[in-house]
Amino acid sequence: MPQDFSGQVALVTGASRGIGAEISRQLAQRGADIVINYRSKAARAEAVASEITAFGRTALLAQADLTQINDLITTQTQIQQAFGKLDLLVLNASGGLEKDKPASYAMDLNLTAQVQTVETMLPLMQAGSCIVFVTSHWAHFYGERPIIAGYEPVASSKKAGEMALRERIDQFTQRGIHFYVVSGDMIEGTITPKLLDRAQPGFLAARKEHNPEPIPTIEEFAQAIVETAADRSQANGHTVFVGPII
Ligand SMILES: NC(=O)c1ccc[n+]([C@@H]2O[C@H](COP(=O)([O-])OP(=O)(O)OC[C@H]3O[C@@H](n4cnc5c(N)ncnc54)[C@H](OP(=O)(O)O)[C@@H]3O)[C@@H](O)[C@H]2O)c1
């Protein structure tokens, strides 16, 4: 395992489970100290922190609802006090289909909160630091390709978040900060394929018939995100695609 993140501090949003937890593990295995952002699942976040420390790295638990600016400021202060800097920001946390939230929530989280997270963390990021925005093919190609019914609020808001960050590329470049997007197909091992199949029975079978290539696993998707953050040789705004675009 290359120690290419040695001495670096990474904030992974939505790191309490799924893809964010795996990104955190892989970054820690490659030498990074990890700030574990989570919204509500404290026990799961603590379990991820234990794995990080077992790799010999430091884990900082940072509970924050990204849609709350005061929570973001608290996280910034925690990182400043613990590490004094941030080398990598992985914008992984996402949502928008929560039943207990207002209709505006998808945009609040996937657009406004992404921009506010970047703006709040930028003062901690020196030249050479990196921001990675994690998205799905359905969101990245929103408006160009058909999407499954029910996923519209997530796809449209994540696309808006990606575009709002792309508008800041000149600002990132002037500061010497790298900015990349990693877009994934459905990811095996997450709840998403099951939910989609439930919403549209037969969806997965039809998908397999159309394209028998297996969908990427959580480990494969996380690895692509970590490799993108490690490389930093691509031009700002470069998009990495994981899994077939069909
Ligand atoms: N799953 C897929 O098939 C798939 C495919 C392509 C791309 N992606 C992308 O991969 C990323 C992760 O997806 P996932 O399926 O692993 O997501 P997930 O299982 O739904 O996990 C979401 C994470 O985000 C956190 N979160 C949600 N709302 C938050 C808020 N307001 N503030 C702070 N944290 C919040 C959750 O924290 P708590 O658990 O503490 O609430 C959780 O850790 C997303 O950007 C998604 O678009 C996923």
Q: What string of DSSP letters covers 165-201?
A: HHTTHHHHHHTT-EEEEEEES--BTSSHHHHHHHHST
pLDDT score, position 205: 86
pLDDT tens-digit profile of 153-185? 999 999 999 999 999 999 999 999 999 999 999
In a domain, 4, yes or no: no
pLDDT higher than 90, residue 2: no
Cβ atoms of 108 and 69 closer than 8 Å: no
The response to whether residue 93 sits with its C-beta less than 6 Å from ligand 1 reads yes
In a domain, 73, yes or no: yes
Pocket test for ligand 1, best of 16, 19, 223 (most atoms within 8 A of CB): 19
What values do phi and psi take at 100, rounded to 5? -90, 10
Q: Whose CA is nearest to atom 5 of ligand 1?
A: 186
CA 91 to ligand 1 centroid distance, Å? 10
- pLDDT band, residue 29 (cuts 50/70/90): very high
Counting Cα atoms < 13 Å in the Cβ hemisphere of 85 gives: 13
In a domain, 18, yes or no: yes
CA–CA gap between residue 96 and residue 218 (Å, rounded):
20
- pLDDT band, residue 21 (cuts 50/70/90): very high
What CATH code is carried by the domain that includes residue 72?
Answer: 3.40.50.720
In a domain, 115, yes or no: yes
Q: Whose CA is nearest to atom 31 of ligand 1?
A: 65
Q: Classify residue 2 by burial, with Cβ atoms within 10 Å: 0-12, 13-18, 19+.
A: exposed
In a domain, 1, yes or no: no
The response to whether residue 96 sits with its C-beta less than 6 Å from ligand 1 reads no
Share of the chain above pLDDT 90, in %: 83
pLDDT higher than 80, residue 246: no
Q: Which H helix or E strand runs over 234?
A: none
CA–CA gap between residue 19 and residue 127 (Å, rounded):
27
As a whole number, mean pLDDT of residues 120-135 equals 98
Tokens of 49: 């922190």
The response to whether residue 135 sits with its C-beta less than 6 Å from ligand 1 reads yes
Q: Is the dihedral of CA 43, 38, 92, 225 positive or negative?
A: negative
* Domain enclosing residue 78, as ranges: 9-241
Tokens of 71: 């929570």
Q: Is the dihedral of CA 106, 108, 111, 113 positive or negative?
A: negative
CA 94 to ligand 1 centroid distance, Å? 4
Most confident by average pLDDT, 23-27, 197-201, 213-217: 23-27
Q: Is the dihedral of CA 161, 166, 171, 177 positive or negative?
A: positive
Q: Percentage helix, strand, coil, to 5, in the chain?
A: 45, 15, 35
In a domain, 189, yes or no: yes
In a domain, 155, yes or no: yes
pLDDT higher than 90, residue 204: no
- pLDDT band, residue 86 (cuts 50/70/90): very high
CA–CA gap between residue 33 and residue 119 (Å, rounded):
21
CA 108 to ligand 1 centroid distance, Å? 14
Structural domains in the chain (count):
1
Q: Is the dihedral of CA 191, 197, 200, 205 positive or negative?
A: positive
CA 155 to ligand 1 centroid distance, Å? 13
Residues contacting 195, CB < 8 A, separation 6+: none
Pocket test for ligand 1, best of 34, 67, 94 (most atoms within 8 A of CB): 94
pLDDT score, position 9: 98
The response to whether residue 36 sits with its C-beta less than 6 Å from ligand 1 reads no
pLDDT higher than 80, residue 65: yes
pLDDT score, position 210: 84
CA 226 to ligand 1 centroid distance, Å? 16
Tokens of 124: 């901690």
Tokens of 7: 């001495």
The response to whether residue 62 sits with its C-beta less than 6 Å from ligand 1 reads no
CA 86 to ligand 1 centroid distance, Å? 21
Cβ atoms of 106 and 154 closer than 8 Å: yes
In a domain, 131, yes or no: yes
- pLDDT band, residue 194 (cuts 50/70/90): confident
